[in-house]
Structure 1
């Protein structure tokens, strides 16, 4: 066991991602293992564009969201309650 979390990312976790993510995180968003992600990158068939930096691959979060078919970030009820987001009635 590697101690790393290889479960699929939740909807909430996807929206908390930074501007770019490593290939492991992008693979989790698609529900695939890292080995499959590297194979697809090598075949130029990964579901979204990857950026190679040295020996590592990064994925822009905006590309990841587009590949997942997510066009807008939803507002969660607890964000409204915490004052992070505005409601339609504000």
Structure 2
């Protein structure tokens, strides 16, 4: 079952809230491809992101790599104050 149950496309804010790894269906949804196609790409070793095999038939997609492929960058953290000159 997908971590995110909403069938709509994921927003940038949604993507930035993802855990360190996600299931293949969620990664596929983020990329705009259907679940079956995402799994087919994983099984053929052609998924464009790093995939971790987590058991006999379980896969996880590394979120940092998913964000890299989608060219999503986390906003800069300015909480530490201005940078020193």
Instruction: Identify whether the pair has TM-score above 0.5, normalized to the shorter chain.
Output: yes
Matched residues in 1 for 2:7 and 2:67: separation?
19
Give the alignment's Cα RMSD to 1 decimal. Answer: 2.2
Corresponding pairs, count = 77
- Alignment of 1:68 onto 2:83: no
Matched residues in 2 for 1:50 and 1:60: separation?
6
Matched residues in 2 for 1:73 and 1:61: separation?
12
Matched residues in 2 for 1:61 and 1:19: separation?
5
Give the secondary-structure state (helix, strand or coil) at the position aligned to 1:26.
Answer: helix
Give the structure 2 partner of residue 57 of structure 1: 59
Matched residues in 1 for 2:7 and 2:53: separation?
22
Per the TM alignment, residue 7 of structure 1 is displaced from its structure 2 partner at its CA by 2.4
Give the structure 2 partner of residue 17 of structure 1: 18
Matched residues in 2 for 1:37 and 1:6: separation?
15
Matched residues in 1 for 2:37 and 2:8: separation?
14
Superposed CA deviations along residues 33-67 of structure 1, whole A, max 9, x for unmatched, are 11000111112111111111111110111111111
Unaligned runs of 5+ in 2: none
Give the structure 1 partner of residue 27 of structure 2: 26
Give the structure 2 partner of residue 5 of structure 1: 6
Unaligned runs of 5+ in 1: 76-84
